Structure 1
Amino acid sequence: MLDPMQLALPVTLPDDETFTSYFGGEKSLEVTHLKKALSDIQKDFQFTYLCGLADSGKSHLLYATCIHAQELGLSTILLSLREVIKFGPDVLEGLDALDVVCIDDVHLVAGDDAMEKALFNFFNRFNEAGKCLVMTADLLPNMLNITLPDLESRLTWGTTFQIRSMSDDDKAEALVKRANMRGLELSDECARFLLTRLSRDMRALLDVLDKLDHASMAAQRKLTIPFIKATLKL
């Protein structure tokens, strides 16, 4: 049997992908709900379904949920189906022992009979007080083309949030905020320059920010557009 703990290792939890750094803010409905779900975990089963397209921040919320759960002393795992679905249904075995399970990209099981059945069975095993399940997908459950009706029904049991995609303004604000959390000064002008010259994918932009952070520290230079151009060879 595959060890889900080992399978999850490639999915690292970025230190700065917390509820505090979430672009929607700590007081957003989704963050408030997820925090409450973790605090109410002993009362009854907690299930949250987050849907949104790329750059909506739903994966960030999964990372943040896991980090917050760990801070509360709860056992947790983040399973990216995009990374592990190739291993088949066994990836869902053994997760029942954990307190909090976060599953990213659930839409990828649609049309895969074995994975749909495995997810349905896991849901039924995990559905008890003391457990918290958070899933993400790109669309609402009834739009996923799930072939197993009972699984589609289960996916509607919890609280559902539709997360809007980030605008360029949101991304610029998020980059500035993330830089400030690192003690790095990134002006709005520099953030918008990155958006116009690089991929708008938020994950890629954060990787670039990490590179700029290291380069700035090494050169003891502030982040300016000329410095960014030189560092990234733009």
Structure 2
Amino acid sequence: MLSHEPMQMALAVTLPDDETFTSYFGGENSLVVSHLKNSFEQMKTDFQFTYLCGLADSGKSHLLYATCVYAQERGLSTILLSMKEIIGLEPSMLDGLESLSVVCIDDLHLIAGHPNWERAMFNFYNRFNEPDKLLLVASDLLPDMITIQLPDLESRLKWGTTFQIRSMSDDDKAEALVKRAKMRGLELSIECARFLLTRLSRDMRALLDVLDKLDHASMVQQRKLTIPFIKVTLNL
């Protein structure tokens, strides 16, 4: 389970290779990205713990993966775990993770009501709490709202820096699609991006999958992305 590579297999979905701070819809200069980057400098002298709170479409998972990529680029050992994937497994899988430099955990709220997982997470936190370590967790709820039964763990979760990340608006998603397309060398107008949002799922992961399909079709047919071309390609 220990790896210098982000653990994509531990996620509910396989994240694209371009899930980085640069491609984050809030921009590299957003407060949360600036904080996470700065945490890598601060961890040299102090343990760094950040708690991200937001709904599914807020981009929390993007930030977790981007943090792992950022760590890997700096030669740091890292792992990304999704509680959706591992909650049914033995909590002992957390044993030994303290040997890593950066640990990211998604959907932390799912451990609430699972005493063994709560205790295992508390023990891991205590083992990991030292300089040169960075812990980043994400949850749908704030620390005092996830009904953790172990008071000591609830207390630990409040020790770090907490960010409440707002959900992406349709304008945010359109801009994110345009930005992601540009990173791939693909020109997607804001009008085309808005068209996709009105005709397809507003889930960013699904929209990025569509962008992959359009990118491939554009290259094969040597066509620019226009609304008529999108309609034909996606049978809209």
Do the aligned residues in 1 keep the contact of 2:53 with 2:60 (CA within 8 Å)?
yes
Corresponding residue to 1:98 among 76, 82, 100: 100
3-state SS, counterpart of residue 57 of structure 2: coil
TM-score, length of structure 2 as denominator length: 0.94
Encode CA deviations 1:79-121: one digit per residue, 9 max, x unaligned. Answer: 1111222213133122111000000110111111111111111
Q: Which residue in 2 is equivalent to 1:82?
A: 84
Give, in angstroms, the shift of residue 8 of structure 1: 3.3
Q: What is the rounded CA distance, in whole Å, between the counterparts of 1:84 and 1:201 in structure 2? A: 23
Is the partner of 1:77 in helix, strand or coil?
A: strand
- One-letter amino acid matched to 1:133: L
Distance 1:33 1:221 in 2: 41
1:52-91 deviation per Cα after TM superposition (whole angstroms, max 9, x unaligned)? 0111111111111111111111111111111222213133
Range that drifts further, 223-232 or 147-156: 223-232
Moved more, 33-42 or 164-173: 33-42
Instruction: Check whether the contact 2:8–2:15 (CA below 8 A) recurs between aligned residues.
Output: no
Corresponding residue for residue 183 of structure 2: 181
Q: CA deviation at 1:4?
A: 5.5
Q: 1:93 and 1:141 mapped to 2: Cα distance? A: 23
Cα distance, 1:215 vs structure 2: 1.3
Structure 2: distance between partners of 1:227 and 1:47:
46
- How many Å separate the matches in 2 of 1:4 and 1:233? 43
Amino acid at match of 2:178: V
Distance 1:77 1:7, change over 3 A: closer
What is the correspondence of 1:1-234 to structure 2 with a 5 Å cutoff?
A: 3=1, 8-10=7-9, 11=11, 12-234=14-236
Are the aligned partners of 2:6 and 2:69 in contact in 1 as well (CA < 8 Å)?
no
> Aligned to 1:96, what secondary structure does the other structure show?
helix
Q: Give the counterpart letter for 2:187 in structure 1.
A: E
The structural deviation recorded for 1:7 is 11
CA distance in 1, matches of 2:31, 2:189: 28
1:142 aligned partner, one-letter code: D
**Code of the aligned partner of 1:132:** L
Query: How far off is 1:14 after superposition?
Result: 2.6
Deviation, 1:133, is 0.2
Structure 2, unaligned stretches of length 5 or more?
Answer: none
Give how far 1:233 is off.
Answer: 1.6
Paired positions, count? 232
The TM-score, its normalising length taken from structure 1, stands at 0.95
**Structure 1 residue 212: deviation in Å?**
1.0
**In structure 2, how many angstroms separate the alpha carbons of the residues matched to 1:230 and 1:94?**
52
Q: RMSD across aligned C-alpha pairs, in angstroms?
A: 1.6
Question: Which consecutive residues of structure 1, in runs of 5 or more, have no partner in the other structure?
Answer: none
Give 1:199's aligned amino acid: S
**Structure 2: how far apart are the matches of 1:155 and 1:114?**
17
Q: For residue 58 of structure 2, what is the amino acid of its counterpart?
A: S
Separation in 2 of the partners of 1:114 and 1:198? 41
**2:81 counterpart SS class:** strand
